[in-house]
Chains A and B, each alone.
Chain A
Amino acid sequence: MTSTPVAAELKSARFRREREADWRRLEGLLKRLETQPVSKLSDEDLIALPVLYRATLSALSVARETTLDKALLDYLEGLCTRAYFVVYGARPRLGHRLARFFATDWPAAARALWRETAVAGLLFALGAGIAVWLYGRDPDWFYAFMPGGMAQGRDPSATTEALRKVLYDGGAHNLLAIFATFLFTHNAQIAIFAFALGFAFGAPTALLLVTNGCGLGAMMALYAAHGLGFQLGGWLAIHGVTEIFATCLAGAAGFHIGWTLAFPGAKTRPEAMAAAGRRAATLMAGVVLMLAVAGALEGLGRQLITNDLARYGIALSSAGVWGYYLYVPRRPRTAKARP
């Protein structure tokens, strides 16, 4: 202060001067916490943080009643809000979070959404069934389910030999990593899209599931007509078990939010939506991981393993692993540890 006040000093100005240092210290701590992990802070600072936060918060409530300095009030409000989010928003470490996700959250979300998953699975099967039935009536239906680009020559006019070749041709072996990555990113993007579409009361998600099922059904009917049904089964199932399961889970996550939006139940709609959205999102994180596995199985495994029985073996074991992991209840370990 360069000059001493002539008149009686303003009470609010003195109030501010006495606390200013604390506020600045809190501000400095917050700034450091934004760039470094909490563990970098000294013990002294860590202990000081909540104390400073409460002191500043109490200064804010006093200031609201005593000072008319708008800039000061704005500053304190901003500082308190930032500190509040740091003090009460502290999050567990990434490792803990991941462990929790794999140990409890993901399987719990899958179990909680079993009804939606069953509906999604039925819709997918329905699509496949429709396609098989229609193909039986008239093979030209194939073109309705499989646009030319997707079929890549695998259509009713192809010879049995050509169809068989697709199943066992390893493709360009040196492009497998690209193929696998492409499959993963493409499928994951579609799964995320299908999930988000669930918001429109689930209708577009249901359509997507049926359409996907139709594509699969049409392909199965085509190969079965050429006596290659068993071989195609292995070709599809090696990754399909994982991929179709993930697709149904994504559909289920979409249905969950769409259903909750329409019928929120006892809670208010925003509250119900928030709970449903977070549960569905946990499941979606799992879906993306499953699709990464499926991408690897399809892009690498299927091209390298051309034995039908080995393919079926992988398919069965993946079904077993996913089923066991997601649906067989485990004793919660955390509950036991608590006193």
Chain B
Amino acid sequence: MTDYSRHLDQPTDAQRPLITPEGVDLRIQLGSASERATAFLIDAAMIIGIMIGLTVLCVLAMVAMTYAARAVGVQHAFDGDWASQLLVALWLLGFFLLRNGWFFGFELGPRAATPGKRIVGLQVAMRNGGRLSADALIARNTMREIEVFLPLTFLLMNAHTNVDGWIVLLGLLWSGIFALFPLFNRDRLRVGDLVAGTFVVQAPRRRLAVELTERRSALSPTFAFSPDQLDVYGVKELQVLEDVLRRNALAAQRVVADRIRGKIGWTPRPGESDGDFLDAYYAALRTRLESRLLLGKRRRDKHDKA
């Protein structure tokens, strides 16, 4: 069963307290380095894609204008005039805005996340729980210049023959400190996060799942477990079981059902399905553990003798 418990045991060092003014800790989870890298790569791919698209559009518009001018016979009217000028100026501005405004603009929005972050399920938040301000987002995203573009510059510098290789290597190492900054601190802060007082947290959109104990099989009277059979497990095992049931993976259910049957000495009745057995056992175990919880006894796992 250890296979399934791994993701339930959220590493506690990724959890940060966020106490609301009402006094409730929201226990938010930090975005992991890999999630954030994925989000960034998605955003970068989108930006580059849009840049290419914009360029192609501009070139097509230029070509179209030239042909149109030739067809009408006013060669000079469209030649280097305001229309094509405007186009090139817009292209330049578009590039500038995409590079500097993409992250800022999206993070300023109500979801505080770029498309990449939304896909991965992340959002930006102030570390002190306060409101995310525009100046913080500017600070956070201008720092990308030294986190991404500076190392990139050193990488591309290799193509130039007139810069000494050692200098490029040194520069790469130096700028690498900024790029890999999130790996060296507890809160997974980028340089930009440090400068802006922000961090990136998980913002998963969960849907309200079904109540497992109200499924028909869970209520079936054919299953009756003795207190001894229920005292085998604790909360941790219950939640692993919940996960197995929610994921609806038949192979895993068979393994788990056999394991539990062996442990509690349950002889399967003819025609008893693994799913039904697990549903019923889950409902019975949860009822037992929750009623003890109401009395103030939380049995953490099967080793907990309390």
Contact = CB atoms under 8 A, between A and B. Distances in A.
Nearest to B221: A6
A74 interface: yes
Given A74-B206, A81-B28, A178-B88, A69 B212 contact: yes
Interface size class of A (residues with CB under 8 A): 35 or more
A72 interface: yes
Contact of A78 (B204, B211, B286): B204
Interface size class of B (residues with CB under 8 A): 35 or more
B160 interface: no
A149 interface: no
Contacts of A17: 211
A1 B219 CA distance: 12
B143 interface: yes
A246 B93 CA distance: 19
Contact of A10 (B143, B174, B286): B286
Contacts of A68: 235, 238-239, 286, 289-290, 293
B208 A285 contact: no
Contact of B205 (A78, A86, A184, A277): A78
Nearest to A280: B139
B124 to A, nearest CB: 10
Interface in B63-111: 80-82, 85-86, 88-89, 92-93, 95-96, 99-100, 110-111
Given A66-B294, A68-B293, A91-B132, 17 more contacts: A3-B216, A3-B219, A5-B219, A12-B290, A16-B211, A17-B211, A24-B208, A84-B18, A84-B20, A86-B110, A88-B129, A177-B85, A181-B92, A196-B143, A270-B127, A278-B196, A285-B135
Interface of B: 8, 18, 20-22, 24, 26-28, 80-82, 85-86, 88-89, 92-93, 95-96, 99-100, 110-112, 123, 125, 127, 129-136, 138-140, 142-146, 149-150, 174, 178, 191, 194-197, 203-209, 211-214, 216, 219, 221, 235, 238-239, 242-243, 246, 283, 286-287, 289-291, 293-294
Interface of A: 1-3, 5-7, 10-13, 16-17, 20, 23-24, 27, 33-34, 54, 57-58, 60-61, 65-72, 74-75, 77-82, 84-86, 88-91, 97, 105, 172, 174-178, 180-182, 184-185, 188-189, 192-193, 195-197, 199-200, 257, 270-271, 273-282, 284-285
